[in-house]
A = this chain, B = another copy of it.
Amino acid sequence: MEQEGLKLLAKAREETGLPIVTEILSSDDVDLVAEYTDVMQVGARNMQNFSLLKKLGKVHRPVLLKRGMSCTVKETLMSAEYILSSGNPDVILCERGIRSFEDSMRNTLDLSAVALLKEWTHLPVIVDPTHGTGIKSLILPMCKAAIATGADGLMVEVHPNPEEALSDGFQALVPEQYQKITQAIRPYLELEGKTL
């Protein structure tokens, strides 16, 4: 939807007071997207789009960098380095599942990568169990597990009417399911000294 979509997001922010994270697909659009969004997301398919990363290093917006589906932990850190060394210190890493031979789930959520990244870097690491598994019933257990590995945040897909979603409806939770998850994870957050 390009700029039209950004305007809708801005309207949603105005009405709800919630900050916006949205994906930036090309280095051409960096200035336009930065005008509208609070956090610039780099999707898994662009994790090694180095011209995009370098341009994001010049922007005064935090960058949410998703791990490429066939990229190692070290390569993920090297991609973060492109943004950091270009002048933007605010990078959030996201484990969203890697490609493997396992065919019962959309991806293989690599939670040991989260524990390893928490040792190797000061950058915050969040987890996306929705893309990581592609199976709604696995989102709660993998949220709890992600917290236990030290994750700093969770990213979960929610839609008021998943059947009519324009993409990924099969893996989106309805708001009631989302609310239940936010309750169920609280004791796990507490054990890690964290809150929602």
**Chain A residues in the interface with B (C-beta under 8 A):** 70, 72-74, 98-105, 108-113, 115-116, 118-119, 129, 132-133, 135, 137-138, 141-142, 144-150, 187-188, 191
* Inter-chain contacts of A144 with B (CB < 8 A): 148-149
Q: Which of A72, A108, A135 has the most CB of B within 10 A?
A: A108
What is the predominant secondary structure among interface residues of chain A facing chain B? Answer: helix
Q: A141-B149, A148-B147, A191-B187 are in contact. Are A72 and B108 (CB under 8 A)?
A: no
Taking a contact as CB atoms under 8 Å apart, the answer to whether A72 and B116 are in contact is no
Q: Name which residue of chain B comes closest to A144, CB basis.
A: B148
Taking a contact as CB atoms under 8 Å apart, the answer to whether B98 and A98 are in contact is no
Which of the residues B108, B115, B137, B141 comes within 8 Å of A110, measured between beta carbons? B108
* Inter-chain contacts of A110 with B (CB < 8 A): 100, 102, 108-109
- A144 CB to closest chain B CB (Å) equals 4
Q: Known A-B contacts: A73-B104, A74-B104, A145-B145. Give 17 more (CB < 8 A).
A: A74-B103, A98-B101, A100-B100, A105-B112, A105-B113, A109-B110, A109-B112, A111-B142, A112-B132, A115-B133, A115-B142, A118-B141, A141-B150, A144-B148, A145-B149, A148-B148, A188-B188
